[in-house]
Amino acid sequence: MPRKTIQPDQIRCTYKRRNVPLPWSAKLDACKRLCALWHNCFGACLVLDDDRFRALCRRLVDDQWTESQLADAIIAYHHVCTTESWRLQHPGAHLTLAKFLYDDRLEEWIERGEEQRAKQRTAKQAAQQRSSYQAELAFFNSLSEAQQAQLRKRAEDELHLQGKLNAFSIVQDAMIKQKLRQLVQREMNEHRRDPSSVNAVINSGG
Is the pLDDT confidence value at 206 over 70?
Answer: no
Mean pLDDT of 73-83: 94
Mean pLDDT of 111-138: 88
Q: How many CB atoms lie within 10 A of CB 68?
A: 13
As a whole-number percent, the residues of the chain with pLDDT over 90 amount to 46
Residue 46: the pLDDT is: 95
Q: Specify whether the CB–CB gap between 140 and 184 falls below 8 A.
A: yes
Which one is predicted more confidently, 204 or 94?
94
Q: What is the pTM of this model?
A: 0.68
Residue 157: the pLDDT is: 86
Which one is predicted more confidently, 191 or 88?
88
Report d(CA 152, CA 172) in Å as an integer: 12
Report residue 204's pLDDT band, with 50, 70 and 90 as the boundaries: very low
pLDDT tens, position by position, 133-174: 888 888 888 888 888 888 888 888 888 887 777 655 556 778
Is the pLDDT confidence value at 188 over 70?
Answer: yes
Is the pLDDT confidence value at 201 over 60?
Answer: no
Which one is predicted more confidently, 140 or 27?
27
